[in-house]
Amino acid sequence: DQILESHEIPNELKYLAVIESALNGNARSHAGAVGYWQFMAPTARDMGLVVNRSRDDRKDLHKSTQGAAKYLTYLYGQLDDWLLVVAAYNSGPRPVLNAIKRTGKSDFWTIKPYLPRETQNHVLAFIATATIMERLNEYIEPGLPTNFDWASLNDKAQQFQKSDMPENPLLKRFGKEELQKMADRK
């Protein structure tokens, strides 16, 4: 919170790390993004983080949040809208700028159809997560304990071995051919 505040970034943007990594510093995407904020190595280095064989600042919550704050500020300087920043954080600024150019508008809801589907869903997931987290105490009485251990959620998730689960959970119930037929009907 303090790092984002010092960069004049809305506090709700901290939930971007929840969407990106589930607050798991060791998270790694299929594309190679790493850490709490899911930085690719070149972007991390551009934001002042060290990424080499012996050190990876993307896995350090404090350092990677500093880098994320710099990147979010950079994106806001280009886009001047926080939802567009969330979109650009996911896809990179080029698809967002192209959608703005195509529509002549610079708000997420207008350009949404012109963004990659993953980016559209990413922004919607961010909105939902931020809304739920900001209003959580309204729904849970008396609210989460102040000492709630968020890190334990990651520890529990790692207890499940990938080998214990099929590659696709639907394969427990349907065969690959049945799933393909269902997908083709869309």
Whole-number Å distance between alpha carbons of 178 and 176: 5
90 Cβ contact partners less than 8 Å away, ≥ 6 residues apart: 118, 119, 122, 123
Whole-number Å distance between alpha carbons of 90 and 100: 16
Whole-number Å distance between alpha carbons of 14 and 164: 33
Q: What angle do CA 111, 23, 15 make, to 5 degrees?
A: 40
Q: SS3 for 161?
A: coil
Distance between the two ends of the chain, CA-based, in angstroms? 43
Assess whether 20 carries a catalytic annotation. Answer: yes
182 Cβ contact partners less than 8 Å away, ≥ 6 residues apart: 174
Residue pointed to by tokens 């798991």: 24
Catalytic residue among 5, 20, 134, 167: 20
- What tokens appear for 162 in the block? 């990938």
Residues with catalytic function? 20
